Amino acid sequence: MRRPRTHTDPDERVAPVLRDIRAVVFDTDGVITDSARVHAAAWKTALDAFLRAHPPADPAQRRPFDVRDDYLRHVDGKSRLDGAAAFLASRGLDPSEDTVRAVAADKERLFTERLRAHGVDAYPGTVRLVRALRRAGVPVAAASASRHAGELLDHAGVLDLFDALVDGGEAARLALPGKPRPDLFLEAVRRLGVPADRAAVVEDALAGVEAGRRGGFALVVGVDRAATGESGAALRHSGADVVVRDLAELVVAGESK
């Protein structure tokens, strides 16, 4: 387990936009941990191999998986099965359930190998915000469609910072539909004992931002790590109230004593 290296000021406070929020639910991949890139690389290897073996009839649809555009549009924030099906459909394919499961399983194997070989880190700005929230007495939860969320947080040394975790395993056990449905986030905030209309969701995926909006959360924060201009606009279009490049932007210095 790694301990995140981060600047910590015990006087840091949450920014005014969060002052009336009574609980915060954080997505995991790309928000808490730098694991989205590992997911994207695993998806690219698995999906490109499938496209080479089963090329679409239309040559224009044979382009490889793009780790930025295709990842954000089709798989980010979704379950493996939903992500695999969405991407293959985007290439004009109509795969069987067995084919979708096989592609998703290949991606799972590749991701697990890379995770256990290299691990992941937590974003320092996220850790600063979580600690500021905890000092303010605001409970925090982590939520993810991935069954690896707990392992990711433990590897990054931040699992103990969260009061609740709802991961892909819990979602399957409770039969929670995936994003953009809000059920995963609603279950997380339920475990914190705060209604959604007093809570915030922090997400980097378009499907996750839409889920926060559909769930009636008081605030939806979009994390735009790509910072392309188009990516921020897409987050706002999906329902983000606030868009930041890094969550340290939501931490402010304490008042001078």
Q: Which residues are catalytic?
A: 27, 29
Token pair, residue 236, equals 């706002």
Token pair, residue 204, equals 């980097």
* Burial readout 168-202 (b: 16 or more C-beta within 10 A, e: otherwise): bebbeeeebebbbebbbbbbbbebbebebeebbbb
CB–CB of 78/179 below 8 Å?
yes
Q: What is the largest CA-CA distance in the chain?
A: 69
Handedness of CA 60, 63, 68, 73 (dihedral sign): positive
